[in-house]
């Protein structure tokens, strides 16, 4: 595939986007062959968005060159129904636009940009970035991404955030974990805007406040489960969805304290390739590994014979 070819971004909701883990070999080098093999597996799921450059992908342990090379590998292996997103977390207009251009040059259809950490500059930052960005922008309201599963202080008031969401060239908005706060944001923005929940444990809660998609670390593990939950929640079929939400919450609680290493543990048990992490890494205790394995098997995500 031509990495510069633009795939159409899906227009039908819900959308499940995977903030991809980065595969490394035993020497901690990016393993592009493993990434290609893993993408092939994810293409058999309902996931349609593939995000390179996130906390789940160990973005701060990757150079810019490595991130762009990973994005190019992912793009080369996507089919015509999936789209590539490039993740950017940068407080300056000039550097944000440079990174957006670089992701667009390797074929990204969308860039995901985190809100600045200073509320007083939020509107001006996006007034300068959005009109000049070469592709649409997914806005990420998670100002402390390393705090997996926990809400940070809001980037700005609901009114200010909503005003940015309603600007031109915005693809959509991803919440933080404070559902009460995000419900206020949802009430302030145009209903036709995409509004995604940020965490697998909050899918049904998100649909109650109007969410119609997700990008979450858990999407690496079970995108089909998240897709089903979103559809059930958006249709109001909460009784049918509770059992699935419960097992996702249990898995989420086990793996998220270990951040990317926890997600990679689950994926390694499922047979994904390159599931090393760059050091230093907090080891996952043996009892947690056993519980993760049991939960994965209970929902049919493990083969009868696990990889050694």
Dump pLDDT digits (tens) for 276-288.
988 998 899 999 9
Q: CA–CA separation, 226 vs 206, rounded Å?
A: 12
pLDDT bin (cut points 50, 70, 90) of residue 304 is low
pLDDT of residue 307 exceeding 60: no
Q: CA–CA separation, 70 vs 118, rounded Å?
A: 30
Question: What is the DSSP secondary structure assignment for residue 168, as one 8-state letter?
Answer: T
State the Cα torsion 129-81-189-159 to the nearest 10°: -40
Dump pLDDT digits (tens) for 121-143.
999 999 999 999 999 999 999 88
Domain ranges, ordered by start, for the chain: 15-238
Q: Give exposure, 108-120, as e/b (b: 16+ Cβ within 10 Å).
A: bbbbbbbbbeebe
CA torsion through residues 245, 206, 111, 10, sign: positive
Dump pLDDT digits (tens) for 40-80.
999 999 999 999 999 999 999 999 999 999 999 999 999 99
pLDDT bin (cut points 50, 70, 90) of residue 144 is confident
pTM equals: 0.94
CB 160 within 8 A of CB 128: no
Query: If you average pLDDT over residues 140-158, what whole number do you get?
Result: 85
Dump pLDDT digits (tens) for 245-275.
999 999 999 999 999 999 999 999 999 999 9
Q: Which residues contact 252 (CB under 8 A, 6 or more apart)?
A: 149, 199, 200, 201, 218
Give 49's strand partners.
17, 83
Query: If you average pLDDT over residues 233-254, what whole number do you get?
Result: 96
Q: CA–CA separation, 102 vs 276, rounded Å?
A: 27
Alpha helix positions (H), the chain:
32-42, 64-77, 93-105, 122-129, 158-165, 179-188, 203-208, 223-234, 238-255, 259-269, 286-298
What is 15-238's CATH number?
Answer: 3.20.20.70
Question: What is the DSSP secondary structure assignment for residue 2, as one 8-state letter?
Answer: -
pLDDT of residue 5: 64
pLDDT of residue 2: 46
């Amino acid at each position: 595939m031509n990495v510069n070819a633009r795939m159409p971004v899906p227009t039908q909701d819900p959308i499940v986007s995977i903030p991809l883990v980065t595969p490394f070999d035993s020497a901690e080098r990016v393993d592009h062959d493993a990434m290609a093999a893993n993408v092939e597996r994810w293409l058999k799921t309902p996931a349609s968005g593939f995000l390179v450059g996130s906390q789940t992908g160990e973005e701060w342990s990757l150079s810019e060159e490595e991130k762009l090379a990973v994005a190019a590998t992912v793009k080369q292996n996507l089919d015509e129904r999936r789209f590539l997103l490039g993740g950017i977390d940068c407080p300056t207009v000039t550097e944000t636009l440079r990174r957006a251009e670089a992701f667009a040059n390797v074929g990204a259809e969308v860039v995901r940009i985190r809100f600045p950490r200073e509320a007083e500059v939020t509107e001006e930052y996006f007034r300068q970035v959005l009109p000049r960005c070469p592709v649409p922008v997914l806005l990420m309201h998670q100002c402390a991404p390393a705090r997996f599963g926990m809400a940070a202080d809001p980037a700005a008031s609901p009114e200010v955030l909503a005003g940015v969401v309603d600007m031109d060239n915005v693809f959509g908005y991803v919440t933080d974990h404070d559902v009460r706060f995000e419900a206020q944001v949802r009430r302030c923005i145009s209903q036709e805007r995409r509004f995604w929940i940020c965490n697998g444990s909050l899918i049904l809660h998100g649909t109650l406040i109007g969410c119609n998609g997700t990008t979450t670390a858990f999407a690496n593990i079970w995108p089909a489960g998240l897709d089903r939950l979103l559809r059930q929640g958006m249709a109001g079929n909460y009784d049918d969805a509770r059992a699935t939400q419960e097992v996702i919450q249990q898995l989420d609680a086990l793996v998220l304290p270990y951040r990317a290493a926890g997600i990679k543990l689950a994926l390694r048990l499922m047979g994904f390739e390159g599931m090393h992490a760059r050091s230093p890494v907090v080891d996952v205790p043996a009892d947690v590994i056993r519980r993760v394995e049991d939960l994965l098997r209970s929902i049919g995500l493990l083969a009868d014979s696990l990889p050694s």
